[in-house]
Structure 1
Amino acid sequence: MFDALADRLESAWKSLRGQDKISETNIQDALREVRRALLEADVNLQVVKTFIEEVRQRALGAEVVAGVRPDQQFIKIVYDELVAVMGESNIPLAQASQAPTVILMAGLQGAGKTTATAKLALHLRKENRTTLLVATDIYRPAAIDQLLTLGKQINVPVFELGTEVNPVEIARQGIAKGRELGVDTVIVDTAGRLQIDADMMAELGDIKKAVTPDEVLLVVDAMTGQEAANLTQAFHEQIGITGAILTKMDGDTRGGAALSVRQISGQPIKFIGVGEKVEALQPFYPDRLASRILGMGDVLTLVEKAQEEVDLADAENMTRKILEAQFDFNDFLKQTRLLKNMGSLGGIMKLIPGMGKISNEQLEQGESQLKRAESMINSMTREERQNPQLLASSPSRKKRVAQGSGHQLEDVAKLVSDFQRMRSMMQQMGQGGMPGMPGLGGLGNPFGGGGMPMPGQGGYPGGRPGAAKKPKKQKKRKGFGVL
């Protein structure tokens, strides 16, 4: 997401490079590029006008900071304004003083409302909150069955009374059932329509009166661009909402929805959906999204993803094995599978500062290299996985692995050689040669204390020809090593 917007904004910074300071003259080209970038991203026109004027005034009034280039100063101003436009900070869900907290879900048909309901329930369960889902969509075929299936998948109970009972009565009895079960939160999934109409709004209004929700969340398809903001405003004016959930943010969204909703509707974005899986829901943090838009990555979200997947005891054991150069092929498989659980390789790389420009071709190559290495490791015996040296000293073993995995003998030999080189490098990193993932050290880092080389980097096992050569010298990023 936001790739096109990020590329456009980067061209704006280039117009200021080589300048001594920001001035009325040299800022015009940069502002013109920013304006084009926002309009092409389908940001609301009024939001664009206000944004550009705010940036212009702040840029011209900015004090010159020693050692900071004009383009860097301008990036900081744009970043601050992006954060301000999207709402400054994350606004958490309200909690009732007396359980259960009631959340009413609304939205048009096709926006992903029922799936978002289940995603929200799973998110709350991770926060140790118990939830009951209430199915009131009696109109869409299989809507109730879909919620029942999702509830079973995430182990959250679903209350339903079929398709013959009035939705208002289902909602009312659902809240009563929630009190009876003693759950913390009841989430009511309502019916949607293909467009806003009087019947839908009347039914939503009646349900709202019946259950007096603490939150009314509108689920909006981010692919609709600035229309998402207009939709949020229309719902708010007619039934009163407390926030929005933007879905399909992992798709071909240009960013207009995220940058327009708060300013046009006045209501905050509380969550974003970043995939089809029920785990793919994230709290909305304006500062983190601004960092992604500007190509700065999002380390905090990456760290949170890692912490969700990592077992503390496993991480400590992995750190010990790295420091003692005992990291084996079983550990390698465990870490690559953990990486997959965190999301797609492309999605993870986008969160790492400086990695946002990796092409789809490179990402596909990286995924292919992981699969090649995994297939060869799966053809090894238990002893060979635990002791890679057995393969290093036995051509017959390597030949058997090659035949079993459908690869060439040279591929297996390279895998073993690269793995031993990587193990040595990781040991040096773990002993303080290079920093690991920031904020995690050896306890929360899923790749151990020193980190794990990614596909295409020197020493990565199963990499492309030449991958094991000495890597080119790169600029060292503060607080970040090899992931």
Structure 2
Amino acid sequence: MVLADLGRRINSALAQINKEPVIDEKVLEALLKEIVYALMESDVNVRLVGSLRENVRKAVNIQELPAGINKRKLIQKTVFDELCKLVDPGVEPYKPKKGKTNIIMFVGLQGSGKTTTCTKLAYHYQRKGWKTCLVCADTFRAGAFDQLKQNATKAKIPYYGSYTETDPVQIAHEGVEKFKKESFEIIIVDTSGRHKQEAELFEEMKQISAVVNPDNTIFVMDATIGQAAELQAKAFHEAADIGSIIITKMDGHARGGGAISAVAATRSPIVFIGTGEHIHDLERFSARPFVSKMLGMGDISGLMETVQDLKLDQNKNLMKNLEQGIFTIRDMYEQFQNISKMGPLSKMMQMMPGMSELNFEGSDELGAQRIKRLMTIMDSMSNAELDSDGKIFIHQPVRIVRVARGSGTTVREVEELLMQHKGFQNMVKKFGGNKNLFKGMGQNMDPSKMSPQQIQQKMAAMNKMLPRGMPGMNNIMRSMMGGGLPGMGAQGMPDMAQMQNMMKQMGLNLPGMGGGRRG
């Protein structure tokens, strides 16, 4: 990803000053020169880059700094703060209200990924417990309704559209009224793509807005247009009451930095960025976490949000089993379910400090395939087998053959799964039944009282809980256990209270990450 390359270059420049015996104006200028080149190559506006350089110079006046000031930390902190200002419009976006109808209207240019982003946002809120739905008011592009219908069906999100009605204003009105009566909380209305020079389509956009009366209008913009984003954003602002912006196609494009900084210059709140084609590839945008993650310092708040979305503290049966040293095959199934819900492995791990330096190439696809295959095997087991400790297969080996045939796998694969479960079970007996490691890990657990050794044990247990064959995990855990996380600068250390809270969430159902019972 190009922005990751930008982050590495800036972080490398910041790390270089730690090697300098004396911090003087020459060192500061060399640092600023490297940062300026890196930002310019990422298509950030020259005026904004120049402003950043001058602001750092003013804040870090080497000759006037009093004795005893840590110049290295001051420089690193100032650069970090100025990078945040570069992408922070300083405006609070609209926040949906729980228990009420929130109408969100999408507008944007043709080909910006608007329809796909509609489904991503609906899925985002659905995961958080909101009642969401989609309305397709795009009658201009052939196949628009089919695309939304396919995406919504896959994500199990209700939708409304028409193959016969050609008036987008009528479709939008009917769809919104239908879902209002059914008490949906998030109603997302997709509209036709349009350009700032298309007056007729802009008038249509205004008519749809008038009839659905949206609480928030989101402008979806393609990151590949770079600095041209500013002109488009201003044009849409003048034509419609734009409440916030989503920037798509941020994965791997050099102009991503230019797009974000250009939109921020219009003081338009950026709410999400699209980082890929899959339904999970939508990340909440906030300036400080974004810059922190870009520099390889992690996004602890984002990781906490991902973990909290799983509602890990609701499975009291599993917690009771763990305390008693019991771990059934069904319990293992649920751990894999929750790992899958957390989204792509690479996205989750890059939220941790230093993880962006590690290579996750191929980990998402292979890891997902591995988990899916193991769950397919368990889907072919009976309730008695799932609720057992696995010994039932030893006493009746014919069951292994039946499960292999039913799941379309081999006897060896079923045996490997059972061996893996036995390993997990032995670990639970060792740490739960014998050493009471999991005792008191329910809602009353206080992570602030956990020793570093206990935290390490829990993180190691998480690593063991992942299926064998998932690449990248050994390097991750070694990096985390060794304490020497790469890419950690003055701003790199996460807030310990946040980390403890995250561990509280993640530790509830260790080993692995437990969740609701399988229905």
Q: Does TM, normalized by the shorter one, top 0.5?
A: yes
Contact 2:327–2:389 under 8 Å retained in 1: no
Give the corresponding residue for 2:54: 53
Q: Match of 1:345?
A: 345
Contact 1:44 1:256 in 2 (8 A): no
Pairs within 5 Å for 1:410-425: 419=424, 423=428
Question: How far did 1:218 drift?
Answer: 0.7
- The code of the aligned residue for 1:353 comes to P
1:34-433 correspondence runs (5 A): 34-60=35-61, 70=72, 72-87=73-88, 91-93=92-94, 101-125=102-126, 133-153=134-154, 157-160=158-161, 162=163, 164-174=165-175, 177=178, 183-184=184-185, 186-193=187-194, 196-250=197-251, 252=253, 255-257=256-258, 259-278=260-279, 280-314=281-315, 316-327=316-327, 330-360=330-360, 363=363, 367=367, 374=374, 386-387=388-389, 404=410, 406=412, 419=424, 423=428, 427=432, 431=437
Larger RCO (alpha carbons 8 Å, 6+ apart)? 2
* Preserved contact between residue 229 and residue 265 of structure 1 (Cα < 8 Å): yes
Is 1:475 matched up with 2:476?
Answer: no
Aligned amino acid, residue 197 of structure 1: E
Instruction: Give the superposition deviation at 1:4.
Output: 0.8
Over the matched positions of the two proteins, sequence identity in percent amounts to 29
How many angstroms apart in 1 are the aligned matches of 2:14 and 2:203? 49
Distance change >3 Å, CA 236–CA 375, structure 1 → 2: closer
Q: State the TM-score, normalized to the length of structure 2.
A: 0.70
Q: Determine if contact 1:83/1:290 at 8 Å carries over to the other structure.
A: yes
Alignment deviations for residues 182-220 of structure 1 (CA, whole Å, 9 cap, x no partner): 655543321114785333323323434555543221111
Task: Provide the rounded CA distance (Å) in 1 between the counterparts of 2:67 and 2:422.
Answer: 50
Distance 1:408 1:150, change over 3 A: closer
How much has 1:162 moved relative to structure 2?
4.5
Mean Cα deviation higher: 265-274 or 344-353: 265-274
How far 1:243 moved relative to its partner? Answer: 1.6
The residue number in structure 1 matching 2:460 is: 453
Residues 339, 424 of structure 1: CA spacing in aligned structure 2 closer, same or farther, 3 A cutoff? same
Q: Residue 87 of structure 2 aligns to which amino acid in structure 1?
A: M
Distance across 2 between alignment mates of 1:459 and 1:118: 31
CA shift, 1:27, in A, is 0.9
Offset of residue 301 of structure 1: 1.5
* Amino acid aligned to 1:474: G
Quote how far apart the aligned CAs of 1:106 are.
Answer: 0.8
Distance 2:34 2:281 in 1: 33
* Partner in structure 1 of residue 488 of structure 2: none
1:277-336 per-position Cα deviation (integer Å, ceiling 9, x unaligned):
44554432222212201211112222222222244332x444444444434555344323
Counterpart CA distance in 2 for 1:23 and 1:92 is 41
Number of residues paired by the alignment? 465
What is the identity, as a one-letter code, of the residue corresponding to 2:460?
A: P
Call closer, same or farther: CA 1:74–1:155 in 2, change over 3 Å: same
Letter in 2 for 1:192: G
CA distance in 2, matches of 1:183, 1:385: 37
Displacement, 1:453?
A: 3.4
> Secondary structure at the residue paired with 1:135?
strand
Across the aligned residues of Structure 1 and Structure 2, the Cα RMSD in angstroms comes to 5.0
Structure 1 residue 17 displacement after superposition:
1.0
C-alpha distance 414-327 of structure 1, shift in aligned 2 (>3 A): closer
Whole-Å separation in 1 of the counterparts to 2:134 and 2:287:
29
- Judge conservation of contact 2:145–2:162 (CA < 8 Å) in 1: no
Cα distance in 1, alignment partners of residues 148 and 373 from structure 2: 39
Q: How far off its partner does 1:343 sit? A: 1.1
Contact 1:458 1:471 in 2 (8 A): no
Counterpart Cα distance in 1 of 2:351 and 2:144:
35
> Structure 1 residues 158 and 28, CA, compared in 2 at 3 Å: closer, same or farther?
same
Q: Which residue of 2 aligns with 1:445?
A: none
Q: Is the CA contact 1:83–1:287 (under 8 Å) kept in the aligned structure 2? A: yes
Paired AA for residue 5 in structure 2: A
Deviation, structure 1 residue 244: 0.6
Q: 1:16-44 deviations in whole A, cap 9, x for unaligned?
A: 11346653221112112211222222223
Which amino acid in the other structure matches residue 60 of structure 1? N
Question: For the structure 1 residues 24 and 213, does the alpha-carbon distance in structure 2 shift closer, same or farther, using more than 3 Å as the test?
Answer: same
Q: What is the rounded CA distance, in whole Å, between the counterparts of 1:258 and 1:425 in structure 2?
A: 53
Alignment-mate amino acid for residue 269 of structure 1: I
Note if contact 1:297-1:353 (Cα within 8 Å) is conserved in structure 2. Answer: yes
Checking the alignment, whether the CA contact within 8 Å between 2:251 and 2:276 is kept in structure 1 is yes
Unpaired segments of 5 or more residues in structure 1?
Answer: 443-447
Aligned residue for 2:482, secondary structure, equals: coil
Cα distance in 2 between the residues matched to 1:209 and 1:179: 16
Whether the aligned pair in 2 keeps the contact of 1:16 and 1:26 (CA below 8 Å) is: yes
